[in-house]
A and B are shown apart, each in its own frame.
Chain A
Amino acid sequence: MSNSMRLPAQPGEVIDRSRRIDIKWNGKKLSGFDGDTIASALVANEVRVVSRSMKYHRPRGYLTADFWDPNGFVQVGDDPNVRSGHRLIEKGMTVDPQNVWPSLDYDVKAANGLVGRFLTAGFYYKTFIKPQRLWPVYEKVLARFAPGGVVDLDTPHGLYDKRYAHPDVVVAGGGPAGMAAAIAAAEAGSKVMLVEHEHHLGGHLLWGSAEDRALAAELTAAVETAGVEVLLNSTVTGRYEDNWVAIAQRSHPQAIERLVKARAKMLVVAPGLIERPYVFAGNDKPGVMLSGAVRRMVNMYAAKPGSRAVVFTGNGDGDAAASDLERAGIEVARIVDARNGENILAAHGPAKSMDSVELADGTKVEADLLVTAVGWTAPTSLLNMAGDRPSYDANAARFFPNSPIDHVLSTGGIAGDGSHEELIEHAVATGRLAAARAAAIGHRLQAATRRAASVDGEAPAFAADDRPILPRDPHPELFRSTTHGIVDYSEDVGSKDLMAAAAEGYDSVELLKRFTTATMGPSQGKLETVNTVAVLGEARGETIEEVGTTVWRPPYAPITLGALGGRIHEPARVSSIQPWHEANGVTPILAGAWIRPEHYGNPESEVRNTRANVGITDVTPLGKLDLQGPDVPKLLSQLYTNKWMQLPVGSVRYGIMCAEDGVVLDDGVTGRLGDEHYLMTTTSSGAASIWEWAENWLQTEHPDWKVHVTPVTTGLTSINVAGPKSRELVSRLVAHAGDGAIDLDGEAFKYMQVRQGTIAGVPNCIMWRIGFTGELSFELHVPSGHGLHVWEALLEAGKDLGVRAFGLEAQRIMRLEKGHFIVGQDTDGLTKAPSTGMTSLIKLDKEDFAGKAELAWAMDTPLPVVVGIQTVDPLIVPAEASQIVREGTNEILGRITSSRMSPTLRRSVCLGQVAPESAAAGTELTVVLTTGERIKARVMEHHAHFDPEGARLRG
C-alpha cells in the first residue's frame, strides 16, 4: 500500500511529511507521516473497512475519525481496544482488526446478520435464561462472540502513574473557548490547568479556515505566555464532590497513562460540541462519514476520504465540508440541504462499500462518500456529574446547561452559539469569574488551615455571575430519516430495535437504555444519546423534552484499569534486623505490612535447638505503647479485664482486653518501668487498633485522666531469647556493675519482671522475663538504631551455647506446644473472654472496665471453650479450621483453631474451640479432615501439651 489517497500539502495539515513512518495494518506494511493518526494513515492508504460491528459483524469504516469513533477500535500489538481515530502512529506499530474470524474481509460471524431479525434487543436476556444449569455452556459460546481485542496475560505490567494537583481552575477542553477562559483566569492570578482531549490545542479551529487556524495559533501562544499548565491528549473523566476532578493523562513522557487527581477550586467545562450521526438505511456503511471527520481528514491529515461525495447538510459545517472537499479536488456530486426540506433515504452498495445515495425525491446519486452534517450533541457529562440536568431546546435542536452551579461554569459551544468574538468574550468572562471565585475559595481555605500562610481581612464575596448570555442559533431537528438505521454503532442497536423495545413496554428512557444497551458502548452515548431519545419520542409520540434523557455519569470517556490503578504502593515494614535475615537464608512471610522471618530453612530444627539450647527470634512487630502519667493504672484497669492498680515498679503483668460486647480484642503484657511510666505490648496486628482504643477511652470517656499514650513499636527492636541456656547467653552481654547493670539471677529477676539497663554496650534497653515459647525467656527491647548490633552480638556470644535464630513458624509451634492461644486465630469475632479459659483474669469486682457488663453475663453462660486437643492417632495433624462434629452426625460442635506436628513431643498437638458440653478433659471428639475422613481426638486437661506446670519458663 502507498499513500494513494494522500492529498497534496494542505495549509492546515499537522503531519510532518519529512518523517515517514512505517506501520503494519492487518499484516500488510503501509506508511504514514509523523502526526498521522492510525485512522488518517489507513484512509490515506485507501483502507475503507477497519472493523466489524459488534453483533452483526457488518463491515465498518470511519464515521467520526476521532476519539469517539465507534468503528475505529483496533488492536495495537498487545494493546486491545485502541481508538485508531485518536492514537498517533509510531514506527513499527502493528495494527490489527479485532474480533474478526478468520479475517476482516471474510468474517464468518457476519452470518449473525442473516438471522438478525431474531437477534433483536433483549435477545440474550430472553434466550439464555433457562435452563439455568446450561449457563456455563452459554457463557462459553457467548464469550466467543464478545467484542474487543485480545488481552495477553503475559504482557509485562507497564508504568502507570498518579499525581495529585491543587489548581485554582481546571478548564476541561482546549478549544477556543477553553483556551480563552484559561488565559483570562491565569491573567487574573489563578493557577490554571487546561486539559485537552486531543493532541493539539485549538479544537474545531484546527480543521477550519485560515482565519480559524490563525486564531488557534494566537490563543495557543497566549496560553503559554499566561503560564497555564496544559495537559494534551488528556481527558477530564469525572467531577466528584468538592470539585475533585479526575484527569486521565495519556501524554506523560514516561508513563503509559497517568491519573491526575485534581482538587480544583473551580471547574470550567468547555468541551465544545460533538457532531451527531443521522439515522437512515445504510448509515453504517463504509463511506458514510460526519462532516467533522471529513474536514479533519482533508484539512489536518491531507487524507482523501472518497472520490465522489454527496453532502447532506443542515448547517454551516456541512457547507464547509462541501467546500473543503471541492477545494481538495474531491467531486461533490450533490449537496442535499436539509434546511430546504431535502432529505436522504439510504446509502446503497455492496457490503464493504457504498456506491450510491438514495434521496427522498427518489433520485439516486452515485457516490462512494456520504457526508452528513445534522447537528451536535452537547457533552454535558461533567455538568451532569455536578448536579445539573440539562434541558432540551427544540429551536436549536440540542441540550443546554440548565441550572447554575457555584463551582462549575460552562462556556463555548456547550453554553451557546455566536460569532468567534461573542464566544471568546463569554469565555474570557467565564475565566475571570472562575478566577474571582477561586480566589474567594482560596482565601477561606487559607484562613481555615493552621499551617497556611496568614491572610488578611475577610474572604472576598463569591462573585456574581454577570457573564453575557450567548445566543442560540436555530437548527433543524434532524435525527432520523423516514428509513431505519443504526442508532448505537458500538452496540449494533438500530432504530427498529428501539421502537420494538418501546412497544414491549421498555418505554422509559432509562429502561430502554438498559434493555437495548443503546448508549452503553465505548462511545458512552456521545453519539447516540440524543438519537436514542428522539427515536423513543417518535415511538411514544412525544417530544424530546417530554421523553427526557439519561444521566451521564463518570467516566466521561472510558479509562484504563492501569490508569485507575496508577502507581502501586504497597507499604512494607521491616525491623532493623532485616539485613541479617536476608543474608542468612530467611524465608519471609508477610504479616500485615510486616515482612517477617518465617524460618531459616527448617523450623522443626529451630524448635529442637531452642528447647535444647537457646534460640533468638525477632519479635519487633509486637505492638509497643509508651504510657506516661499518674493515671496510667486507671487506664490499664479500664482496658484490661484484670486488676492493675497495684502493679509494682519492675513487674510485668499479662492481661486480656475486651470490646464492650465482651469479645476478646487483644492480649499482651504491660510492665511498669517507673512510678508513672509503663510499657504496654499488644499483638502485632493489634498495635494500631489498641492505640486508637486507648486514645478513644482517654479522649471521649476520661479526658480528665493524665495519661500520654505514645506508640513506640518500631523504636524498640524486640528480640526474644529463649531456651534453657538463655540466661547464660544474656548474662554474657549485660553490664554486671555500674549504670545499666542487670542482675539476671533467678531470685533477683523473676518470671514476669522487667529490668532496664545496658545490653551489648547499648544503654536504655528494656528486658522482661516472659515466655511465649514455654522456655526460660528474656525479651529484649533495644533502641532500634542498635538492634542489629545486639542481635549479632547475641549470635556471636552464644556460639558455644548453640544459639540459632528461629522464625515465626518455630515460635508458633512452641507456643502451641505450650498451649498459648493467639487472639484472632484461636479466638474469633464472637469469642468472649470466658471462652479462653482465662476466667481468673476477669475481675468483675472492679469498678469498671471495657466489656464488664457483657462479661458479667458471659461468666454464667455456657459458651464455646478453647481447649487443648490431641488426636488419638498421634501422626494425624488435622488442618486448621477442621470441623469438630457430634459423632455420627454433621452437627458442628467446634473446630480446630491451631494444629502442628510437635517436634518436641513427636505427635500432633492442637487447640480448638468446642461446645461447652464437649469441653471437659477426656471428652472424645470427632474431627472431620479435609479429605472427609473422620478421626478421633481427645480434649486435654490443659491448653499446654508441654510443661503444663511451667517449670521451664520459671527456671
Chain B
Amino acid sequence: MANALEFESPITKRYPSGGSRDLALSDESSQTKTLVRAADDSAAASQLGVAFGGSRHQAGVHIIGQRPTEWLLVGDESAAAAMVVGLDRTGHVSVIDHTHARALLRLTGERSADVLSKICNVDFGDHMTPDGSALSASVAKVGCDITRDDASGIRSYRIACDRSFAQYLFDAILDAGREFSLTAVGA
C-alpha cells in the first residue's frame, strides 16, 4: 500500500537507469504548484512581477506568467506557502493548489529543443523562445504549459500538463528523444 502523504508520482513506469545525462527527462511533479488568478493590473500581479509569456525566480519559487491573468508558482512547499501567504489579495484573487492537478516534467540538454521540435510546433530558437519565456502549446497532442528555464547555462524546459496525461507525455517525449539518446532520470 502506498504511504499516506507520500506524493505519488504520475510517472509510474520504471526506466533503465544509467546512460548519458547530457540530455535528460525527469519528473518534478512533486514540486508544490500554486495557481494564482488575478487581474493583470492587480496588486498581486505587481507582486508577482512577471507578465504573461515570461517567468522569473524569487525566494525559491519559479513564478511563471503562463496565461493572461494567470500565474503558476512552482517551488518547495514552504517557499511556495510563504509566497502565497504574502500575496496581496486585494480585488478578485483566487489561489488554487495545483500540485496534484498538474504534472511537471523537466527536459534538459543542449538538444532539448530538437526533441521538442519533433512533437511541438513552436519555434524554440533563442530569438522566439529565450530563457525565461513561457508559452502554452500542444506537445504530442497534449495541451501543455512550457517554460524555458535554463540550468547553469544549459538549455532546459519545464513542461506542465494535466496529471492524467503525464505518463503518456513522458513516454512521448522519450520516444521523440530516442534519436538524440534522451535518458529518463529519476523515474
**Known contacts being A788-B2, A792-B1, is A783 close to B92, with CB within 8 Å?**
no
Q: In the complex, what distance in Å separates the CA atom of A130 from the CA atom of B37? A: 68
Which residues of the other chain, A, contact B35 by a CB distance below 8 angstroms? 710
CB distance B5 to A786 under 8 Å? yes
Q: In the complex, what distance in Å separates the CA atom of A789 from the CA atom of B37? A: 30
Considering only CB atoms, which chain A residue lies closest to B69 in the complex?
Answer: A708
- Choose the segment among A290-298, A416-424, A570-578, A817-825 that binds chain B (4+ C-beta atoms closer than 8 Å): A570-578
- Choose the segment among A406-414, A442-450, A806-814, A876-884 that binds chain B (4+ C-beta atoms closer than 8 Å): A442-450
- Choose the segment among A156-164, A216-224, A920-928 that binds chain B (4+ C-beta atoms closer than 8 Å): A156-164
CB distance A708 to B94 under 8 Å? yes
A165 within 8 A of B: yes
Which residues of the other chain, A, contact B133 by a CB distance below 8 angstroms? 451-452
A114 within 8 A of B: no
CB distance A576 to B8 under 8 Å? yes
CB distance B100 to A715 under 8 Å? yes
* B61-113 with Cβ < 8 A to chain A: 92, 94, 96-102
CB distance B118 to A445 under 8 Å? no
B134 within 8 A of A: yes
CB distance A594 to B164 under 8 Å? yes
A620 within 8 A of B: yes
Q: In the complex, what distance in Å separates the CA atom of A399 from the CA atom of B92? A: 66
* A702-719 with Cβ < 8 A to chain B: 706, 708, 710-716
Which residues of the other chain, A, contact B102 by a CB distance below 8 angstroms? 715
Q: In the complex, what distance in Å separates the CA atom of A413 from the CA atom of B126? A: 36
A230 within 8 A of B: no
Q: In the complex, what distance in Å separates the CA atom of A579 from the CA atom of B104? A: 19
**Known contacts being A161-B118, A784-B163, is A453 close to B126, with CB within 8 Å?**
yes
B121 within 8 A of A: yes
Question: Among the interface residues A450, A713, A785, which one has the most CB atoms of the partner chain B within 10 A?
Answer: A785
CB distance B99 to A762 under 8 Å? no
CB distance B129 to A793 under 8 Å? no
Q: In the complex, what distance in Å separates the CA atom of A716 from the CA atom of B163? A: 10
Considering only CB atoms, which chain A residue lies closest to B7 in the complex?
Answer: A785
**Known contacts being A166-B125, A784-B101, is A572 close to B168, with CB within 8 Å?**
yes
Q: In the complex, what distance in Å separates the CA atom of A786 from the CA atom of B29? A: 13
Nearest Cβ on chain A to B102's Cβ, whole angstroms: 8
CB distance A715 to B163 under 8 Å? yes
* A564-594 with Cβ < 8 A to chain B: 567, 569-576, 578-579, 593-594
Which residues of the other chain, B, contact A575 by a CB distance below 8 angstroms? 164
Cross-chain contact of A569 among B96, B164, B172, B178 (Cβ < 8 A): B172
A764 within 8 A of B: yes
Interface size on B, residues (CB 8 A): 58
Which residues of the other chain, B, contact A796 by a CB distance below 8 angstroms? 1
Which residues of the other chain, B, contact A449 by a CB distance below 8 angstroms? 53, 128
Which residues of the other chain, A, contact B142 by a CB distance below 8 angstroms? 571
CB distance B162 to A789 under 8 Å? no
A191 within 8 A of B: yes
CB distance A793 to B8 under 8 Å? no
CB distance B178 to A254 under 8 Å? yes
Considering only CB atoms, which chain B residue lies closest to A628 in the complex?
Answer: B94
Nearest Cβ on chain B to A443's Cβ, whole angstroms: 9
Cross-chain contact of A166 among B1, B51, B96, B128 (Cβ < 8 A): B128
- Write out, one digit per residue, whether chain B residues 1-41 have a CB within 8 A of any chain A CB (1) or not (0): 11111111010100000000000000001100001010000
Q: In the complex, what distance in Å separates the CA atom of A786 from the CA atom of B163? A: 13
CB distance B101 to A574 under 8 Å? no
Cross-chain contact of A714 among B101, B125, B140 (Cβ < 8 A): B101
Nearest Cβ on chain A to B150's Cβ, whole angstroms: 13
CB distance A569 to B140 under 8 Å? yes
A263 within 8 A of B: yes
Nearest Cβ on chain A to B32's Cβ, whole angstroms: 10
A608 within 8 A of B: no
- Write out, one digit per residue, whether chain A residues 427-442 have a CB within 8 A of any chain B CB (1) or not (0): 0000000000000001
Q: In the complex, what distance in Å separates the CA atom of A4 from the CA atom of B143? A: 61
CB distance A164 to B8 under 8 Å? no
Nearest Cβ on chain A to B164's Cβ, whole angstroms: 4
Considering only CB atoms, which chain B residue lies closest to A758 in the complex?
Answer: B4
B46 within 8 A of A: no
A253 within 8 A of B: yes
Q: In the complex, what distance in Å separates the CA atom of A252 from the CA atom of B179? A: 10
Which residues of the other chain, B, contact A254 by a CB distance below 8 angstroms? 178-179
**Known contacts being A629-B94, A784-B100, A796-B1, is A573 close to B128, with CB within 8 Å?**
no
Which residues of the other chain, A, contact B1 by a CB distance below 8 angstroms? 789, 792-793, 796
CB distance B117 to A163 under 8 Å? yes
CB distance A761 to B4 under 8 Å? yes
CB distance A451 to B128 under 8 Å? yes
Which residues of the other chain, A, contact B130 by a CB distance below 8 angstroms? 451-453
Considering only CB atoms, which chain A residue lies closest to B92 in the complex?
Answer: A706
Q: In the complex, what distance in Å separates the CA atom of A784 from the CA atom of B29? A: 11
A760 within 8 A of B: yes
CB distance B94 to A165 under 8 Å? no
Which residues of the other chain, A, contact B141 by a CB distance below 8 angstroms? 569-571
Cross-chain contact of A620 among B97, B98, B164, B178 (Cβ < 8 A): B164
**Known contacts being A452-B129, A569-B141, A783-B99, is A789 close to B8, with CB within 8 Å?**
yes
CB distance B3 to A451 under 8 Å? no
Nearest Cβ on chain A to B94's Cβ, whole angstroms: 4
**Known contacts being A594-B164, A712-B96, is A450 close to B51, with CB within 8 Å?**
yes
CB distance A710 to B164 under 8 Å? no
A178 within 8 A of B: no
CB distance B129 to A451 under 8 Å? yes
- Write out, one digit per residue, whether chain A residues 786-811 have a CB within 8 A of any chain B CB (1) or not (0): 11110011001000000000000000
- Write out, one digit per residue, whether chain B residues 146-172 have a CB within 8 A of any chain A CB (1) or not (0): 000000000000000011110111001
Which residues of the other chain, A, contact B96 by a CB distance below 8 angstroms? 626, 628, 710, 712
CB distance A708 to B37 under 8 Å? yes
Considering only CB atoms, which chain B residue lies closest to A621 in the complex?
Answer: B164
Q: In the complex, what distance in Å separates the CA atom of A352 from the CA atom of B50? A: 76
CB distance A571 to B165 under 8 Å? yes
Question: Among the interface residues A571, A578, A712, A762, which one has the most CB atoms of the partner chain B within 10 A?
Answer: A571
Which residues of the other chain, A, contact B101 by a CB distance below 8 angstroms? 711-716, 784
CB distance B121 to A261 under 8 Å? yes
CB distance A451 to B53 under 8 Å? yes
Q: In the complex, what distance in Å separates the CA atom of A784 from the CA atom of B163? A: 8
Nearest Cβ on chain A to B97's Cβ, whole angstroms: 7
Which residues of the other chain, B, contact A792 by a CB distance below 8 angstroms? 1-2
CB distance B8 to A762 under 8 Å? no
Which residues of the other chain, A, contact B185 by a CB distance below 8 angstroms? none
Which residues of the other chain, B, contact A253 by a CB distance below 8 angstroms? 179
Q: In the complex, what distance in Å separates the CA atom of A616 from the CA atom of B143? A: 31
**Known contacts being A706-B92, A784-B163, is A451 close to B135, with CB within 8 Å?**
yes
CB distance B168 to A573 under 8 Å? yes
Cross-chain contact of A452 among B10, B127, B168, B169 (Cβ < 8 A): B127
CB distance A574 to B167 under 8 Å? yes
Nearest Cβ on chain B to A702's Cβ, whole angstroms: 13
CB distance B162 to A713 under 8 Å? yes
Question: Among the interface residues B6, B30, B100, B123, which one has the most CB atoms of the partner chain A within 10 A?
Answer: B100
CB distance B2 to A263 under 8 Å? no
Query: Which residues on A are within 8 Å of B, measured CB to CB?
Result: 161-166, 191, 252-254, 261, 263, 442, 445-446, 449-453, 567, 569-576, 578-579, 593-594, 620, 626, 628-630, 706, 708, 710-716, 760-762, 764, 783-789, 792-793, 796
Q: Can you sample 23 A-B contacts with CB below 8 Å?
A: A162-B118, A162-B119, A191-B125, A253-B179, A254-B179, A452-B128, A452-B129, A567-B118, A567-B175, A571-B168, A576-B10, A594-B164, A708-B37, A710-B94, A711-B101, A712-B96, A714-B101, A715-B97, A715-B98, A783-B97, A784-B101, A785-B8, A786-B7
Can you name 14 extra interface pairs (CB under 8 A) apart from A573-B162, A784-B100, A785-B99? A166-B125, A254-B179, A446-B127, A450-B52, A567-B118, A571-B165, A571-B168, A628-B96, A715-B99, A764-B97, A784-B8, A785-B29, A787-B8, A788-B2
Q: Which 9 A-B pairs have the closest CB atoms?
A: A715-B101, A450-B53, A761-B4, A451-B133, A451-B53, A573-B164, A166-B123, A714-B164, A708-B94
